[in-house]
């Protein structure tokens, strides 16, 4: 995946544009896997700083790899482990500017330098997390967190 740096204003605008596109893409389609796969592809077009974008779906006390764009990744992550498992357990978005400084970070791709993980909630329960990685340090910030918030809210309405 190519990585391109955008200014903050550009990033915010891109997320704003993505939301109605995604809503249109998901509208009328009940299949969860198809919707997650297309959401991932749409996010990839939008978030040019990302080297990997994908979903980990909550299954009991684990997160299991779902649709993604990027290199082959680890399949199962225990709740509370790694950035994904921590974000799910704490039900909050985690922005990790330097993955080497996050204790317990799970390195699926040795090239990854920074990461953002956003939990997806349905009826108050974590049904999945959306994970974005980058080969650049500090690729993600509050603008990404704010831009992704309405997107995961929309994804939370899918048929989990």
Nearer to ligand SME, 15 or 68 (CB): 68
**Residue position matching structure tokens 């990585």:** 3
Residue closest to ligand SME when measured from CB atoms: 82
Nearer to ligand SME, 115 or 144 (CB): 115
Alpha-helical segments (H) within the chain? 8-26, 32-46, 82-90, 142-155
Q: How many residues bind ligand SME (CB under 6 A)?
A: 15
How far, in Å, CA of 9 to CA of 80, rounded? 33
**Residue position matching structure tokens 């299954």:** 59
Candidates 12-20, 39-47, 69-77, 135-143; binding stretch for ligand SME (CB under 6 A)? 69-77
The answer to whether 108 contacts ligand SME (rule: CB under 6 A) is yes
Backbone angles phi, psi at 140, to 5 degrees: -120, 145
In whole angstroms, how close is the CB of 65 to ligand SME at the nearest point? 8
């Amino acid at each position: 995946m190519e990585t391109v740096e955008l200014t903050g204003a550009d990033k915010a605008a891109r997320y704003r544009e993505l939301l109605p596109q995604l809503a249109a893409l998901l509208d009328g389609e009940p299949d969860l896997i198809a919707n997650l796969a297309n959401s991932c592809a749409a996010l990839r077009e939008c978030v040019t700083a990302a080297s990997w974008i994908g979903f980990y779906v909550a299954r009991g006390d684990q997160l299991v790899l779902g649709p993604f764009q990027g290199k082959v990744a680890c399949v199962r992550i225990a709740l509370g482990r790694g950035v994904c498992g921590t974000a799910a357990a704490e039900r909050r978005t985690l922005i990790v500017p330097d993955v080497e400084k996050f204790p317990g970070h799970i390195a699926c791709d040795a090239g990854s330098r920074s990461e953002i993980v956003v939990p997806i909630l349905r009826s108050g329960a974590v049904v999945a997390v959306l994970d974005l990685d980058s080969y650049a340090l500090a690729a993600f910030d509050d603008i990404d967190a704010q831009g992704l918030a309405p997107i995961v809210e929309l994804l939370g309405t899918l048929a989990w």
